[in-house]
Chain A
């Protein structure tokens, strides 16, 4: 059983640029959630996708958007990057049959 994998592990972007982060969910999981974890903070919910549809959104502006694909993998896109977007971005997958969340190791985004 494979876990949740995220790519890339690290990246550096310039303010104003756009970035795409990727997540492959655990086998058998059809729900993917994205979280932003700023340094020294707990993760904050960005949004969730269930069977390719957005299924809940946290307090993040529209420049944070996402996709879920038929194989349940997912992308997080962030436009017009700001310095405060620097954080660890975590992806978590789960099955609609239980609340077992499996997290990936995250993507460390630095905006300069």
Chain B
């Protein structure tokens, strides 16, 4: 079945430590890939997106993500986490030729310890 998987429900890191959030997708073709962040009670803010080309994508707030076709993955990384990064992070995909419908993973809740 077509799906987006975020295997880590919760992650806790110390401020200043590096971060990697995992995302895997299961589709026949490479979809368009997105990472969103959601603060409590808020809407979704786009961090970055991948359509094609360079597989390392830079986003806002110092985030980057790497697309690996062989692993069907699009993991989000940040070299040094700040306390303000505590939030929920969602990976999402759009099927190419499938309209504008976003399909989201279940999210990863990030907690940052000071």
Contact = CB atoms under 8 A, between A and B. Distances in A.
Interface in A80-104: 90, 92, 94, 99-104
Nearest to A45: B101
Contact of A101 (B100, B105, B107): B100
A62 interface: no
A42 B107 contact: yes
A27 interface: no
A45 B43 contact: no
Interface in B39-84: 41-46, 49, 51
Nearest to A102: B46
A81 to B, nearest CB: 21
A28 B90 CA distance: 26
A105 B32 CA distance: 23
Contacts of B106: 41-42
A interface bracket (residues with beta carbon within 8 Å of B): 20 to 34
B103 interface: yes
Given A41-B106, A99-B49, A90 B44 contact: yes
A96 B104 CA distance: 20
B11 interface: no
B100 A48 contact: yes
B40 to A, nearest CB: 11
Given A43-B90, A99-B94, A105 B100 contact: no
Interface of A: 4, 31, 33, 35, 40-45, 48, 55-56, 58, 90, 92, 94, 99-106, 108
Interface of B: 32, 34, 36, 41-46, 49, 51, 90, 92, 94, 99-107
- Nearest 8 pairs of A and B residues by beta carbon: A42-B104, A103-B43, A103-B44, A105-B43, A56-B99, A45-B101, A42-B106, A43-B104
